[in-house]
Amino acid sequence: MEDKLLDEVLARVDALQDDMVRTQVDITAFPAISPKSGGEGEWDKAQYIESLLDEVGFDEVLEYNAPDPDAKKECRPNLIARVKGHNHDRTLWFMAHMDVVPPGDLKLWHTDPYKAVVKEGRIYGRGTEDNQQDLVASIYAIKAIRDAGVTPPHDVGLVIVADEETGSKYGLCHVLGEYDFKREDLIVVPDYPTPDGSKIEVAEKSIAWLRFVTHGGQCHASMPAKGNNAHRAAAHLLCEIDEMLHQRYGAKNELFDPPLSTFEPTKKEANVPNVNTIPGEDAFYFDCRILPQYDINEILSAIQEKAKGVERRFDVSIAIEPVQFEQAAPPTPADAEVVNLLSEAVKKIYGVCTKTVGIGGGTVAAYFRRAGYNVAVWGKGDETEHGPDEYCVIDNMVGDAKVYATMALHPE
């Protein structure tokens, strides 16, 4: 009987494909960009989504608006929607985000990023894969269940947030401060697309983005003794730090790809505009993605010791400024219930066996994990997020909806 009910729901998901595509086209027209990135926020998009949730027939739809004076209506909207199951002891949550990144150089796009184009089994437009594919898939998974008149064995809910792309202060962080999730809840964050959907992210590296500013003395390049070349000192500092980090923190963890901590000098700020002036100030950055076994404060202390040595050697002063500095959240156990449930559903719908992985990038799952919740991060997609001509594969959107419906109807 349970298999027959699931088959009926999955058939309804297939029948809803045109509605899902239409919803994707509609919400792509809302440029839900953070004020930090030059936009107005997610207000208009959230209004559309909330009306859709009401139409689907969720038992409750709650608003958790985070004040933001720079956004439209001076707030960043967040939505929680839930349908009741036979058992209310816990909820299976799917979390998606409404905000998108700016389109970048429009000359690289072959279509208008905010006018979705449907062709060859794909939907082109900014946000279609990140994260609208699974936002839409999760809504229509529940719509299929409701349309079939099926009551899931446990409560099923959606967490639809703002501000994922620029730090989550006005999104999940705000929601976690306002809404009481249960320790027994199962949480899926569908925001880690891989081409075959075979990877479930359960762990993330620590992140340390550091800005190094070296202060020396500016002078004419023909009379270097009258100044102190900050650029030279900074170059030595960069190389010494780079060598020290790779030698001292070289442990491997095969859960991650790559299995090592990564320490990369990246951005270089301009110093002087002309060739014949010795710079008195120089600034560069490191992007460090560090295996969770290392304490990032201990690594920072080691970096500071190297900087002191360069200060003494070159008679300069060096300031180290953390731009982003977060110790890795506790990992989700590979055998956690939410991981097993997701893995079973992916195998049933897509026919692939999953494996658990760790990543160097950061996701909002970290905020849930720091709060003590097990989270599985997953997705199936062509990894076009943030690029020009971003697209969603329609079959993936429909398939993902089937995965979520399968999870929602799993017997207790």
Q: Are 35 and 41 in contact, with CB atoms under 8 Å apart? A: yes
* Euclidean distance between CA atoms 409 and 379, whole angstroms: 19
- Give the DSSP letter of residue 131: I
**Confidence at residue 1, expressed as pLDDT on a 0 to 100 scale:** 44
Those residues with Cβ within 8 angstroms of residue 314's Cβ, 6 or more apart along the chain or in another chain:
216, 228, 232, 233, 236
**What is the pTM (predicted TM-score) of this model?**
0.89
At residue 81, what are phi and psi to the nearest 5 degrees? Answer: -130, 145
* Euclidean distance between CA atoms 158 and 80, whole angstroms: 6
**pLDDT tens-place string over residues 177-192:** 999 999 999 999 999 9
Domain locations along the chain: 2-200+329-408, 206-326
**pLDDT tens-place string over residues 109-119:** 999 999 999 99
**pLDDT tens-place string over residues 42-83:** 999 999 999 999 999 999 999 999 999 999 999 999 999 999
CATH 3.20.20.140 fits 2-200+329-408, yes or no: no
**pLDDT tens-place string over residues 223-250:** 999 999 999 999 999 999 999 999 999 9
Select from 259, 256, 135 the least CA-distant residue to 201. 256
Percent of the chain with pLDDT over 90: 97
**Confidence at residue 411, expressed as pLDDT on a 0 to 100 scale:** 83
SS3 268: strand
**Confidence at residue 171, expressed as pLDDT on a 0 to 100 scale:** 97
DSSP string across 20-49: HHHHHHHHHTS----GGGTS--SHHHHHHH
Q: Please give the CATH topology (third level) of the domain spanning 206-326.
A: Alpha-Beta Plaits (3.30.70)
Q: Which two tokens stand for residue 173?
A: 């962080």
Give mean pLDDT, residues 187-204: 96
**Confidence at residue 360, expressed as pLDDT on a 0 to 100 scale:** 92
**Confidence at residue 211, expressed as pLDDT on a 0 to 100 scale:** 98
- Give the DSSP letter of residue 116: -
* Euclidean distance between CA atoms 82 and 96, whole angstroms: 14
**Confidence at residue 290, expressed as pLDDT on a 0 to 100 scale:** 98
* Euclidean distance between CA atoms 230 and 295, whole angstroms: 30
Residues designated catalytic: 99, 164
Those residues with Cβ within 8 angstroms of residue 257's Cβ, 6 or more apart along the chain or in another chain:
357, 358, 359
Those residues with Cβ within 8 angstroms of residue 301's Cβ, 6 or more apart along the chain or in another chain:
none
pLDDT confidence band for 362 (50 / 70 / 90): confident
Q: Containing H/E element for 9?
A: helix 2-15
